[in-house]
Structure 1
């Protein structure tokens, strides 16, 4: 079984507590009531706590629902209207509008008011949906509650409540939109109507205004009307930009009151155990750490729309190629490591590191890329010269060297539009390279010249053009050759194909250029609007088409009838589409909401079925067309162009490019992105079910144990279930629980960092521990013990002091050798790193970007009479060990050159890292002094653990 679950990594990590800390139940004849005071007695809601104890004070309580998966602490207001309100956010100005939110449960509950709480901390939409038990937000009986400061001193407060009148299934943090408000109240004064962007009455404190523009300093918040003023003072509870000070953004707390009782949401554990549960197959919303980016503008942007830093991607070998209008590659916004490289650059697929050996030159923008057989790539764009040679709009390069492939002689000619041929889009299928844009003819040295207006195809090896000619009478912006081989789809500014109507989109036969009838739906053609289309892609049984007036539609592959519709508001045309087969990603210069079911703009009406936030790009189910709201990144765009290029590489990583400057990575860390951003493929593989599960009863409790599970990215912990729910989350493979009534059943399941849960063990009741076996009778005449083996001599003992290099700078050459001076390195006792419970020397995780690799050195003496040493090193996640500068051991890293950016092949979970020891005997070492050096590599920058310890011993 696969289903959507709600356990973000931050929530899971915060709940990895020691089960034995739970107190035994006072009454062992019954399980304790869900009072929310411990993890084992977590309530299903703050409201349940209030029903159990009406006098319970406000504060932090343990809350758990089946959708949350395990318990976490949240702040509950137990005083207002009978209590039961859970705090989901607080802040003043610059709230995140992404479903990712801006904080963990711990951060939200840590400071609930005062200046320390002014910087917004918001739970993610996934956690909030879990708190409401998977129910609809628009069906919450008490709606949404805002507690807002009404003066600058924070001594007066206002209580606002509102309910949605339009569909609102899951939570969203985007409020400046057309979602309709039903009823509302301000300190009890009732009203109705308006939208979440602006509702209430008057221009004072009786209004909630989330409109975010220049008057509000572009800072999202739950603002007042124009007559309420504030200041940018850091201590003021009423914030406003220095520009007039109107429309104050007050410090605001957001509460919900889900009325959930445990008895109504928890079912007894199935006799066969719970089934495995995994997340949705869509890339992660957080961006991957950025090691390199691009910057500068070359031949634009004033000449043509879309002339942004990045316009296109493709992959060949282990490199991803980035094309666009940039002039440099660099490591940071400040220009660290900047190198001149215009319009086309290559980066390692997995690490994102720049490949400096690929250095072709272009005189203008690269707009399209495609990988060709034989380690080559095709590039199209506005250029006329490549590597100093004339190549107008199209060229084929060696993907390793950047040299021009002389065997491919295909070229384009334009006898219109000033005689300049340009290519906007490329695709490869069935031995053909398809090129489209603005031109009239295709030619080659061996194939002659063919009339192929706006779209052509070439033999991928020779470049000879084919006679295939759809003859489109306008610029083509996107082309997609179907994997089925029968059609080519085109989108752009054309209106005819071979004189036949082809209204901005066409499905063209690959054999005879015939057209399939395509009733394209346009959102607005009033006043002579053309409704041009800019992106098209066939995925499975659907054809996706995106374009102007902010539309993204999918059509049935066979009939070309519309299956799904999306309109963004306030605006932003769709301009790029990509897919991994499970999800469809679409890029746009839209920074508001995507309304599913809407087909018209600018008035989207009321028939739409769903509204989800979108910022530069969004994701949809390839099978159903449903919006996948969990992919909702947080970015800053230089000029509001958004995502003009999308690409899913062979590892499942989504690359999106445009004028993106900054992005948010895991941990809510803001980073410079430099034109493009990468998103890791989501982990949708559940860990293996724990084996060897045992439940043993004793007079003072129940002891549970099991064998470790495995997972493709590492197990993060185990959830212990009792009767009907999770009562403990632990890192180790055992847990001790309080005594419980006879017949109480227990099970355990494994969880990974992504929140995927294994199937649980079969539930079992605790058994009494077996009586110990009696001691055997002593042997009356025992044989004498043989001479014991000599104890090994510890040359480097556990907990020894090591010199460590941990920095964003490159490690110095020769660092592993005997003569290297490591006196400037950090020194500290092992284990060194983070994420495991035995760390003695903690490495600084605040470095930006966080390094992949740490380096360690120590000296040891081989005693006289020894000829070998025994090494035992922790591998978390991968290691290379050197003795006197010579490599002697490597684990979880590929063969070949290793750099600071090389990632380990697999993640090692924090619970299993201390026991993940690799051992080796090194022979023929001379007596005397030696140096051992170790480099430790993580599987990814935000690894939960990165730890090192090593012992060296001799017989």
Structure 2
């Protein structure tokens, strides 16, 4: 460590002061002062001393009080601050959530993490705040929730003034990862209330022996509580709608919601970190997923339902299709509109079908198709036509454009060279309806409610069909050899990208005379036979007769299908064996599916919970492997079928609760969703207005560049690291993570960081992290050794002799008796008026050689790699360690004597005061006392000055 000038002057002044008082005593050997650079205690008081858990801090330092501490596990990655309860039941609890009414049970948490830790209790903590689920999982250090010895701790107020409290311990069963979907019914094997076991159940509604008092917990929403959720008591417990009451109720409904705190106590004493190789770590990026926190800009939308008709199947938006940079929107809407408060000419009657710029969202006014009925589906053809399907009788008054037609993508006018004339001959006069379209291998597959079709130009080839057909994409002429027969309406279809089959879902019971309830798989071969060797799909349990399926899509080797009652299943393509299943409640029929970058997105009129690997619609809670929140659109890993709860568009809202009935990915990778949508994400001042549809775009999955030019220096405060800034592809603030050896020890938004507890030697790395969580590659490792220990400081006391006597060679040896020599602090010399000790008068003849000796104790010389000698001499000098010459400067070769002059006179003041440096192997040192000896030689006996000072530092 560098010794500051202030310290040097103070040391020299202290010795000089002693000399001036005439009380000079030869000190014993100086001891090399070494700072302790061992591993710091993980006390949690700084990011560099973060502990694995509150429990670890309490076990290591039992006197630790309640408060905010730094915690870190390998799964948390970077150290973060949390509130620790160090008192209750032995302490070691970490606070993960708290609040009164208004819990959202969101996977992504709620409120501010800083507010949570800094305001753990009191009326200022009544607004709920909860850590994101992945952060809670990080606190578990890779452990399971059901492995927590103490379960989940909930502390609930029992009195309005907060003076009383109840302690619950919720022992979970079969719970691997943390979920905040407490209102959805997490299974608990036991609930311990104030130390007494009261039996198990689930967190949605639990009670001991039917209690309606304090031995009840209800967490789902209730209209009597104005849909505010929390840890409610039974209906005999009274609260107050008051900002200071610890028990809340909306009006007079009772079942008070108390202020509650949620803790867990992972008993981690350490965490397993992976060593970082010297070359550093590669970049890591998040998996592709839509950003559910921000819905992209859609300034225009569609509003109203044409004719004022309402209901589940009469929604503003039912379908999308894009051609080039234009997105076409179809449905039952009446108008196109800009924003919630349109200006002049910003709300235009343009029912059923409209076009919007795919990038800016601006309405394309030149596209003005004229239809007289609902649009159910759209399909773009490779040659640039837009095929429209629905329940209209004509497009622009053109003949043979009932239920399905081609329109010009620029104007919306019917394309007269493409005709597929659809009719429905029935005794009840039911009009034709085309609900579904798909393109594959030159064919447009159509499905719905019709039984006759003719097409082509000129119109010909009338074919009798059974609610589905395929027509040439080029002109609409039907294929008379492909005529599967369905006995009920088709809702959705998907022609496989492999070209061998078509999937159907709907309200049918038989296909081609073979039982095939609600879903079917038909070959594309002539004759349209059913695909053989497939098992039956599995409906939800308790769905009764409502088993119709509304959406079906093939992705890779899997087929996903969903519908009533609230079921979404993933099936093997080859066998149709069920692989995973999901149930949503409350609300919930699945309505649309699409896949983007390995993620399946499914929409439903659901706004509560998704129960994974479940089939039980009647009571999904006991059978689910997991429960997480869902809000109109959910995301699943296509390969595994696992629900991805971090996609949670919590701000979405609808006109009538129907949700999206169409999902489409555009060329930018964004997900368009359409239905009765009215609200998107929070913009900072208000919720985004949506007119029937919106879109989510992919979150950033590109890592920042690697920081460059990492450097380090030992400073008084520790080790200071500096680096050149990284860059990122997206706007936002980059954070830098500083790693020491195998873990992150701190973060900063600047380009420097000081490690106050370095534990040297240590290897440092730095990487950049963007707002989304993508991490750059780290720098290569920079190893920092402890700063050198100063064995002999400038200003140290030295024994000296300057009487002209030739001391021979014994004087430099450890055993030499120098007790009769004078004692003084360096700098020693004469003639420059800056000496701490003057060794001779000025302006007289002097001896050629002055001799200096000191000693230093070194406990373990093997801990040092080398010695650095910083020698101030005027004129020449030879330095010895334990009698061995280790350095000489401005001296002739050979053994010097008392009369050997320096090679030359040093006359410049700057040269006289400049130190010359030498690196010496530390092997010259011995354990214990070491002797440092220096002889300084003048160039001649009339030299007007002499200077000597020496600093000896030992490098590790």
Please indicate, yes or no, whether the TM-score normalized by the shorter chain is above 0.5: yes
Residues 558-597 of structure 1 mapped to structure 2, 5 A cutoff: 558-597=574-613
- C-alpha distance in 2 between matches for 1:161 and 1:768: 48
Q: Please state how far the C-alpha of 1:37 moved relative to its aligned partner.
A: 2.0
Q: What is the match of residue 450 of structure 2?
A: 439
Question: Which 5+ residue runs of structure 2 have no aligned equivalent?
Answer: 1-33, 789-956
Kept after mapping to 2: 8 A contact 1:523/1:600: no
Residue in 2 aligned with 1:483? Answer: 497
The alpha carbon displacement at 1:124 in A equals: 1.8
Q: What is the match of residue 418 of structure 2?
A: 408
Are the aligned partners of 1:209 and 1:224 in contact in 2 as well (CA < 8 Å)? yes
Deviations 1:431-477 (A, max 9, x none): 22222111112222434322232112222221222222212121111
Q: Does 1:469 align with 2:498?
A: no
Q: 3-state SS of the aligned residue for 1:514?
A: coil
Change (3 A) 1:527 1:315: closer
The structure number with the bigger radius of gyration is 2
Matched, 1:30 2:27: no
1:425 aligns with 2:447: no
- 1:175 is aligned to 2:182: yes
Give me the TM-score of the superposition, normalised by structure 1: 0.73
**Deviation digits for residues 771-799 of structure 1, max 9, x if unmatched?**
xxxxxxxxxxxxxxxxxxxxxxxxxxxxx
- The 3-state SS of whatever aligns with 1:48 is helix
Cα displacement string for residues 831-850 of structure 1 (whole angstroms, at most 9, x for unaligned residues): xxxxxxxxxxxxxxxxxxxx
Question: How many pairs align?
Answer: 741
Partner SS for 1:47: helix
Partner of 1:550: 566
Query: 2:184 is paired with a residue of what secondary structure?
Result: coil
Change (3 A) 1:362 1:629: same
The yes-or-no answer on 1:358 pairing with 2:341 is no
Three-state SS of the structure 2 residue aligned to 1:215 is helix
How far off its partner does 1:178 sit? Answer: 4.0
Question: CA separation of 1:768/1:233 partners in 2, compared to 1, >3 Å: closer, same or farther?
Answer: closer
Say whether residues 1:612 and 2:628 are aligned partners.
yes
Q: Give 1:89's aligned residue.
A: 97
1:393 is the counterpart of 2:410: no
Question: Is contact 1:522-1:531 (8 Å) kept?
Answer: no
| SS state at 2:305 partner | coil
Q: Secondary structure at the match of 1:181?
A: strand
Which residue is equivalent to 1:744?
A: 762
Structural mapping, 1:84-123, within 5 Å? 84-123=92-131
Q: Judge conservation of contact 1:475–1:493 (CA < 8 Å) in 2.
A: yes
Partner of 1:264: 271
2:660 to 625, 628, 643: 643
Q: Structure 1 residue 195 and structure 2 residue 220: aligned?
A: no
Aligned-pair distance for 1:354?
A: 3.8
Q: Which digits, 9 at most, give the CA deviation of each residue in 1:586-631, with x for residues without a partner?
A: 1122333323322343244855433332222211111121222222
Tell me if the contact between 1:745 and 1:763 (Cα under 8 Å) persists in the aligned partners.
yes
CA contact (8 A) 1:90 1:121 kept: yes
8 A Cα contact 1:576 1:646, kept in partner: yes
Q: Specify the alignment match of 2:552 in structure 1.
A: 536
Query: 8 Å contact 2:543–2:564 — kept in the other structure?
Result: no
SS across alignment from 1:54: coil
**What's the TM-score, normalizing by structure 2?**
0.73
Match of 2:704 in 1: 687
C-alpha deviation, 1:113, in angstroms: 3.4
Q: Distance in 1 between matches of 2:325 and 2:787?
A: 55
Distance 1:121 1:400 in 2: 51
Contact 1:276–1:759 (CA under 8 A) maintained in structure 2: yes
CA contact (8 A) 1:181 1:199 kept: no
Conserved in 2, the CA contact under 8 Å of 1:393 and 1:412?
yes
Hey, what does 1:492 align to over in structure 2? 506
1:223 to partner: Cα distance: 0.9
Q: Cα gap change, 1:124/1:348 in structure 2, threshold over 3 Å: closer, same or farther?
A: farther
Shift of the 691–69 alpha-carbon distance from structure 1 to 2, 3 Å rule, reads same
Shift of 1:583: 0.8
Conserved 8 A contact 2:84-2:94: yes
Q: What's the RMSD between the two structures over aligned residues?
A: 2.9
The 5 Å alignment of 1:289-328 reads: 289-292=296-299, 293-299=301-307, 302=310, 305-328=312-335
Does the aligned pair in 2 maintain the 1:300–1:307 contact within 8 Å? no
Q: What is the alpha-carbon distance in structure 2 between the residues aligned to residue 73 and residue 528 of structure 1?
A: 51
Deviations 1:856-902 (A, max 9, x none): xxxxxxxxxxxxxxxxxxxxxxxxxxxxxxxxxxxxxxxxxxxxxxx
Aligned partners of 1:342 and 1:321: how far apart in 2?
Answer: 13
> Structure 1 355/148 Cα, relative in aligned 2: closer, same or farther at 3 Å?
farther
Going from structure 1 to structure 2, the CA distance change for 1:181 and 1:301 (only over 3 Å counts) comes to farther
Unaligned runs of 5+ in 1: 1-25, 771-955
Residue 225 in 1 paired to residue 241 in 2?
no
Q: Which residue is equivalent to 2:838?
A: none
Map of 1:456 onto structure 2: 469
CA positional deviation for 1:698:
5.1
- C-alpha distance after superposition, 1:388-434 (max 9, x if no partner): 55632223223333333232222321113524111212211112222
SS of 2:120's equivalent? coil
Q: Does structure 1 residue 137 correspond to structure 2 residue 137?
A: no
CA displacement, residues 510-554 of structure 1 (integer Å, 9 cap, x when unaligned)? 122111143233335879615211110000110111121222111
Shift of 1:87: 2.1
From the superposition, tell whether residues 332 and 56 of structure 1 become closer, same or farther in structure 2 (CA, over 3 Å). farther
Q: Is the alpha carbon distance of 1:550 and 1:226 closer, same or farther for their aligned partners in structure 2, counting shifts above 3 Å?
A: same
Partner of 1:841 in structure 2? none
Q: After superposition, what is the alpha-carbon deviation per residue over 1:567-587, rounded to whole angstroms, capped at 9, x for unaligned?
A: 234452212111014011111
Change (3 A) 1:66 1:275: farther
Deviates more, 1:716-725 or 1:174-183: 174-183
Deviations 1:640-680 (A, max 9, x none): 32332212222221222223333444879744433333222
How far does residue 218 in structure 1 lie from its aligned partner after superposition? 2.0
Distance 1:672 1:45 in 2: 44
- The answer to whether the Cα contact below 8 Å between 1:546 and 1:552 also exists between their aligned partners in 2 is yes
Contact map agreement 2:72 2:80 (CA 8 A) in 1:
yes
